[in-house]
Structure 1
Amino acid sequence: MKQIGRLLVAVGLSMAVGVVTNSALAQDAGMKRWTQGKGWGWVWGQEDEVGALNEMTDASRLAALRLATQGKTYDLGLPYARDSYRWAGHNPGEIISFRTPEGVARQRDLPFTTPEQGNTGHTRWHSSAMFISDNVATQIDGLAHITHGEDNHWYNGFKSDQWTGDFGVRKADVTTIPPIVARGVMIDVARQKGLDALPSNYEITVADLEAALQAQNMDITPGTVALIRTGTARFWGESGGDHAKIGEYDTAGIGLAAARWLVEQKGAIMVASDTSGLECLPPRPADSQAVGGSFNPVHVYLLVQQGVHIGEFHNLEGLSADRVYEFAYVATTNAIRGTVAGTALRPLALR
């Protein structure tokens, strides 16, 4: 309890007068492996599959839950449908009725469903077969999602020729993402700029993040989940079916400098946004070159180099409308072994 008290006092002082450094906050919060100016990295041992989320503790989760003082819940998940917008590199999904009341009655292939076997009340059911990407709608990228280099390695040096199998990856799959309960801060860049949504290909800079946080009287402290609003989710509608409209805005996002600032200077343990890919696309040539050449340099930096999970297509519109910037962030992923992202999720912001 004393540790939590010290953390809350330190956070308050830092926001008010700037006399407490993020390094000091990290120490008070029990951050074991974060170093200001360096970030996280591969620091939890050769077999680690969790990354920065290792830093969550019972004390940090309790402190996060104490941010919920009103009992109000914001659903950050976007509804998924078979024709929902998706990044071009992921497969479309299909939902097929596998069992229907009419089919059960007509097929009679299950004896226990027939009146002759006692089902005189005609009890039947619906069930669906799903063919779906593990990277659609509201999601959290697992650490195996992105590989880099000719050896196709991902976080912690796991390599595809050793750990990719016929039934998915065998290291750092989605089942290694722990239940996330952490302080969440929404950085409303679109609102700070007076826009409904940032324009296509807009690069969110460190200055943009700082300006929005200052306008919100808020800060990112070590152990925070940082959620960045571009405004793209406002165009999702019932199921993300207007691909042209969503695609018009979906490529706005953070550049590599902003990602480094969030991790190395502020200690974010996860970075999320309301777009399909978090980062500005196409990347600036300098960003691409900084990681050795990549069409997704921020993903390489966060997932591969820093072990920081990425949240995508988080619906931040309700938070923005109510000007809620700090909350308890709660998310769990579907536990399907071999998959590389928690998909079609409903994370919560508790206020």
Structure 2
Amino acid sequence: MSLPAEFHEVAERVNNWGRWGPDDEIGTLNLITDEVVREAATCVRSGLRVPLALPLRQDGVQTGVIPGRVNPLHVMVQINQEVFGPGTVACSDDAVTMGLQAGTHWDALSHVSHSGRLYNGRPAGTVTPHGGAAFGGIDKPRHIVSRGVLLDVARALGRERLDGGHAVTPEDLDAAEEFAGTRVRAGDIVLVRTGQIRSYLAGDRHAYGYPSPGLSVRTPEWFHARDVAAVANDTLTFEIFPPEIEDLWLAVHALDLVEMGMPQGQNWNLEELSTACGEVGRHSFLLSAMPEPFTGGTGTPVAPVAIL
């Protein structure tokens, strides 16, 4: 089944293929220039550091809805072992098996395809079983540090958390931008708070996953108009789930990653940040969210930190 005409109409309006050259593999991260980072550094006033990652643990956010996304399976491979002989320093080492997108993570541009294509028109077949992503992998971005802006949609609409059927619209983003008292600008990383992760933090993993509030298929045009570098939120699926348009699954993923070349993140814990921003009266900050450079990876765990 082909994607509907309304999808292709939006895709044409947000398409960035060729904007940074035919060989580009990092898309909108090109918008994070040295000047943008210098400006972002001026957001640091108190030095308060707010972690945004969920703990990586076996009873994590994944519930089996997405096949293969295994929560971290942690094992000890040696415990207090004197590796270099009796009487030497003893070591404890461990190993983990997990889906790279199991917890707080970034999606690489190669994470989804549509119509047989990845970002910049590359063939979807460049993702292979043994090598992973030959193009647009998560190892390609070398910097994800910029000004972060928290768009606290839930609190802007007078709620602690949005309900599971709420599709975040451009109008919601406008309201959150006004609530934040700042305008999103080129090179920013936007964090959209729905409050949905409160379900997981309260111990209800299944209520966190489905149904889920998330971004509407109309939001990519909002981000494109502002030249946003990357977007992350506090939900399992990033976009509204089930989809707002019947049978149009992962449409926002395809528009963001494939058409626009804009990385997106999921399962970010924005609760402490929301409180901190409210206390200091500012919703912009220096954000460090460097990806783990897994060669060929289509996503990666990330431990972002907002510095106010």
- TM class by smaller structure: 0.7 to 0.9
2:75 paired residue number: 96
Aligned sequence identity (%)? 27
Aligned residue in 2 for 1:332? 290
Equivalent position to 2:47, from 66, 71, 79: 71
Q: Equivalent residue of 1:236, what SS?
A: helix
Q: Of 221, 234, 238, which aligns to 1:274?
A: 234
Partner of 1:59: helix, strand, or coil? helix
Q: How many residues align?
A: 289
Other structure's SS at 2:91 match: coil
- Residues 1:126 and 2:92 aligned together: yes
Q: Which amino acid aligns with 1:96?
A: V
Partner of 1:5: none
- How far 1:38 moved relative to its partner? 4.7
CA distance in 1, matches of 2:263, 2:295: 17
Q: Deviations over 1:275-330 (max 9, x none)?
A: 12221111122xx7xxxx74100000000000000011111111211324111111
Q: How many Å apart are 1:132 and its aligned residue? A: 1.0
Residues 113-159 of structure 1 show CA distances to partners (whole Å, capped at 9, x for unaligned) of 3x2xxxx25x322111211111121111110101112x3x2111222
Structure exhibiting the larger radius of gyration computed from Cα positions:
1
Counterpart Cα distance in 1 of 2:140 and 2:195: 30
Cα displacement string for residues 25-78 of structure 1 (whole angstroms, at most 9, x for unaligned residues): xxxxxxxxxxxx756444222221111101221111111111111111111111
Residue 254 of structure 2 corresponds to 300
Q: Which residue of 1 aligns with 2:306?
A: 349
Task: State the shift of 1:187 in Å.
Answer: 0.7
2:205 matched residue in structure 1: 243
Quickly say closer, same or farther: Cα 1:130–1:167, change in 2 above 3 A.
farther
> What is the Cα-based RMSD across aligned positions, in Å?
2.1
Give the drift of 1:193. Answer: 2.0
Query: What is residue 218 of structure 1 aligned with on the other side?
Result: 182
- Which of residues 128, 131, 141 in structure 1 aligns to 2:107? 141
**Equivalent residue for 2:6?**
none
Deviation at 1:342, TM superposition (A): 1.9
1:243-294 CA distance string (max 9 Å, x none)? 223225x61011011221122x222111111112221111122xx7xxxx74
1:96-245 superposed matches below 5 A: 96-101=75-80, 104=81, 112-113=84-85, 115=86, 120=87, 123-149=89-115, 151=116, 153-237=117-201, 242-245=204-207
- State the shift of 1:174 in Å: 0.9
Equivalent position of 2:5 in the other structure:
none
Matched, 1:315 2:293: no
Q: Name stretches of at least 5 consecutive residues in structure 2 with no aligned partner.
A: 1-12
Please state which structure has a larger fraction of its residues in helix: 1
Contact 1:42 1:305 in 2 (8 A): no
Aligned match of 1:18: none
Contact map agreement 2:209 2:236 (CA 8 A) in 1 = no
Give the TM-score normalised by the residue count of structure 2.
0.87
Q: Structure 1's 88 and 136: CA in aligned 2 closer, same or farther, altered over 3 A?
A: same
1:32 corresponds to: none
Q: 1:253 aligns with which of 214, 228, 232?
A: 214
Q: How does 1:49-68 map to 2 (within 5 A)?
A: 49-68=25-44
The answer to whether the 8 A contact 2:31-2:227 is kept is no
Q: 2: CA distance between counterparts of 1:189 and 1:129?
A: 38
